[in-house]
Structure 1
Amino acid sequence: MGCSGCRFRVNFGKALSKVSVFFTMVLIFTYFFYCLTGFCDSAPRAAYRQQTSDLDYDILDDLRPPRRLFPDAPFQRNRTGSADAPAEPSQNTLDSEKETAKSNGIPVSNTFGTKRFPQAIIIGVKKGGTRALLEFLRIHPDVRAFGAEPHFFDRFYDKGLEWYRNLMPRTLDGQITMEKTPSYFVTKEAPSRICTMNCQTKLIVVVRDPVTRAVSDYTQTLSKNPGLPSFQSLALKNSSTGLIDTTWSAVRIGLYAKHLENWLQYFPLSHFLFVSGERLVSDPAGEMGRVQDFLGLKRVVSDKHFYFNQTKGFPCLKKPEGSSRPRCLGKSKGRPHPQIPSEVLQRLRDFYRPFNHRFYQMSGQDFGWD
């Protein structure tokens, strides 16, 4: 009986030892799995930029090197409910973008990279081709741009520079942070405010024949407000005298020389690149070459990225491999212009001529608008 009890205790002890070893192995396995998972989540990973639904161009993943980037910050309502202010991406947005990337087989970490102030800003002009330029630039793997127009230096300056910096996408060393807000060029306070941030900022101005720019501006406003008065009634102070009304913003924006004078009080001419809106349509690769040189970038964006859409009347990006079709700028671009009396257009050309010549002298470029 005593021996039976001894055998029982020995067997029980062996069983208990095996159970302890089993649970110890489970704990060790769990620990190593957790560590490995944590390491993978925190390790630097490469990510492609996610194409957002509000952008007008396809990104040519088959024609460019992989990016080690993060999705651009979206344009959202701010905490006060305003639809105008861009907002830093929420955690839900970041989580959603992370899941989307993972579903495409791209592991990401939303803490990789650094938020920096823009080293370059597209400051103007409205209806000159700034959206096309920004989207062409975003093909380049070393360019990271905020997708919406932040309007910080004209509308939301009171929110502070830290708020502005937090809007920017994360970048790696060697990448350029950019944004575009065309209204900066005509905002009196914008040059001093940008210089307060960084007087070494590179400034890009996309300009276009001021007459066709004014008509395009009017066309856009008319699409949103069908009851708008006629172009000629807004452009002319008095139809009998034919004097041009420079208080109308569509006319005032085209006084490029006047606006540039304000900027040259704070920045030297060498900090500006003036891009021709016309050549951005007729020779996008050529203009993009100049832009990449100005930004100190390798010439990655070239003629292989573009094709001319006869229906739209401007260049589009070629479709990436596997895509059903290429996409161009959205329906809001390339609207047919209303018929404007030729005498009104001629009065505008005569009005702008001395300002254009002055702008040619100041910029060192003849844009051939006369």
Structure 2
Amino acid sequence: MAAFYHRHHHQHHVNQHHLHPPSTDLRRLFHRLTIASSLSILCFSLVYLLTGGCESELTENSEIKPPARDVLVRGAVWPQEENGTDALGINHPALEINSSGKEWTAARRLPQALIIGVKKGGTRALLEFLRLHPDIRALGSEPHFFDRHYARGLDWYRSMMPKALDGQIVMEKTPRYFVTVDTPARVHAMSQDVKLIVVVRDPVTRAISDYTQIISKTPDIPSFESLAFKNRTTGQIDSLWSPLWIGLYAQHMERWLAWFPRSQIHLVNGERLISDPAGELGKVQDFLGLQKIVTDKHFYFNKTKGFPCLKKPEGSSKPHCLGKTKGRTHVSIDPEVIQKLRDFYKPHNQRFYQLAGQNFGWH
């Protein structure tokens, strides 16, 4: 009986051992569960970050680009993404953390600066040169908001802009703005503080350049001479013909000065933009309140094209010149016609020099 009791007690002890493991086993089991769950969370986080990161990167770089045809016609593409690494190889991510650990988030904002004119003055060159600056975020294509698409509203216009961090200047260029009657009031309604840039060039050579571009697209148009005059015999100029009308800078400038102070309009000398690009860019950077980062080390003069090009920037395989549509050989114009145009523009130029506060020396 004693033996049976001892055996039964031993069996009961063994069963109890299996039903209620000691506290050490419990701790070990809990430790394993903790490690397993931690690994699961870590794996899930990694998968989420990888997939989410790719998605946000894709979203960041999917800016509105000009259509392929636009790119070919204008030679408008600079080898950089609208967001991402710029021409100097400086990255502009959507999210930055500064030294204090504060987050800076990129956002689409309305532009603080506009290149408003003039057509065939050097606006594309100026925009591409400015895009070298890490604190400038510029739209590559011409949105034509204030002259053609105003009815779409400011939200649409904002959606066209590249994302920018605090402190970066958002800008776009549409040369038609300078000569469009309604544009100054519309720009003023968006912002009274916007900075305006106009690239001006001798109005006679500008008109010939304009006509050269027109004839390259529509070769069967009449001669420059027949379009420039209302009456060739009397020598009466047709000042409403677009290539000549655009060159009436004083007339257009007065419209802008009715809405903006002279201090908010910066005039770039189109001739000097070719002969001394770094000097003109220095003045523009001052006007925009930016550190002078774009300097003469960024340029070289291309004798074939007859204007400055950009030296090889970081992240690009070759030096960058504007496209084939820039630097065309001008059509040949009768010297007598050119002299009549110079005489026609002389009083307009003098008036413009007064408004500008500088003499551009166009003869």
Give the TM interval when normalised to the shorter protein: 0.7 to 0.9
Quote the Cα distance in structure 2 between the aligned partners of 1:39 and 1:322.
27
> Which one of 264, 267, 285 corresponds to residue 278 of structure 2?
285
More helix, by proportion = 2
Equivalent pair of 1:154/1:183 in contact (CA under 8 Å): yes
Q: Is residue 273 of structure 1 aligned with residue 263 of structure 2?
A: no
Q: Is residue 306 of structure 1 aligned with residue 299 of structure 2?
A: yes
The 1:173–1:327 alpha-carbon spacing in structure 2 relative to 1, beyond 3 Å, is: same
State TM-score, norm by structure 1. Answer: 0.78
Pairwise CA distance, 1:230: 0.8
Equivalent pair of 2:114/2:196 in contact (CA under 8 Å): yes
Q: Which residue of 1 aligns with 2:211?
A: 218
Quote the Cα distance in structure 1 between the aligned partners of 2:52 and 2:357.
50
Letter in 1 for 2:338: L
Equivalent pair of 1:72/1:145 in contact (CA under 8 Å): no
Q: Which residue of 1 aligns with 2:40?
A: 30
Q: Which residue of 1 aligns with 2:171?
A: 178
> Which one of 227, 230, 234 corresponds to residue 234 of structure 1?
227
> Which one of 318, 343, 357 corresponds to residue 350 of structure 1?
343
Quote the Cα distance in structure 2 between the aligned partners of 1:356 and 1:131.
24
Pairwise CA distance, 1:7: 9.6
Q: Is residue 75 of structure 1 aligned with residue 65 of structure 2?
A: yes
Moved more, 119-128 or 161-170: 161-170
Equivalent pair of 1:41/1:109 in contact (CA under 8 Å): no
If you compute each CA radius of gyration, which structure gives the higher value, 1 or 2? 2
Q: Is residue 201 of structure 1 aligned with residue 194 of structure 2?
A: yes
Quote the Cα distance in structure 2 between the aligned partners of 1:198 and 1:352.
33
Ranges in structure 1 where 5+ consecutive residues have no aligned partner: 51-69, 78-82, 84-93
Alignment of 1:1-370 (within 5 A): 25-35=35-45, 71=61, 73-75=63-65, 108-109=93-94, 112-321=105-314, 323-370=316-363
Quote the Cα distance in structure 1 between the aligned partners of 2:278 and 2:62.
24
The 1:35–1:122 alpha-carbon spacing in structure 2 relative to 1, beyond 3 Å, is: same
- Per-residue CA shift, 1:139-181, capped at 9, x if unaligned? 1111111111110000000001111112111111111111110
Quote the Cα distance in structure 1 between the aligned partners of 2:300 and 2:35.
62
Quote the Cα distance in structure 2 between the aligned partners of 1:37 and 1:195.
49
Quote the Cα distance in structure 2 between the aligned partners of 1:107 and 1:329.
24
Pairwise CA distance, 1:321: 4.9
Ranges in structure 2 where 5+ consecutive residues have no aligned partner: 1-10, 71-80, 96-103
Equivalent pair of 2:83/2:92 in contact (CA under 8 Å): no
Aligned-pair identity in percent equals 55
Name the SS for the 1:151 alignment partner: coil
Name the SS for the 1:237 alignment partner: strand
Pairwise CA distance, 1:33: 4.0
Quote the Cα distance in structure 2 between the aligned partners of 1:126 and 1:26.
67
Letter in 1 for 2:203: P
Quote the Cα distance in structure 1 between the aligned partners of 2:159 and 2:331.
41
Equivalent pair of 1:144/1:176 in contact (CA under 8 Å): yes
Quote the Cα distance in structure 2 between the aligned partners of 1:107 and 1:195.
29
Query: Considering only aligned residues, what root-mean-square deviation do their CA atoms show, in Å?
Result: 3.6
Letter in 1 for 2:309: C
Letter in 2 for 1:115: R
Equivalent pair of 1:132/1:329 in contact (CA under 8 Å): yes
More strand, by proportion = 2
- Per-residue CA shift, 1:265-285, capped at 9, x if unaligned? 111111110001100000000
Moved more, 169-178 or 124-133: 169-178
Name the SS for the 1:29 alignment partner: helix
Q: Which residue of 1 aligns with 2:74?
A: none
The 1:3–1:332 alpha-carbon spacing in structure 2 relative to 1, beyond 3 Å, is: same
- Give the total of aligned pairs: 327
Q: Which residue of 2 aligns with 1:62?
A: none
Quote the Cα distance in structure 2 between the aligned partners of 1:112 and 1:33.
27
Pairwise CA distance, 1:26: 4.0
Pairwise CA distance, 1:327: 2.0
Equivalent pair of 1:142/1:174 in contact (CA under 8 Å): yes
Letter in 2 for 1:266: W
Quote the Cα distance in structure 2 between the aligned partners of 1:304 and 1:34.
49
Equivalent pair of 1:112/1:170 in contact (CA under 8 Å): no
Equivalent pair of 1:72/1:146 in contact (CA under 8 Å): no
Pairwise CA distance, 1:21: 7.0
Q: Which residue of 2 aligns with 1:61?
A: none
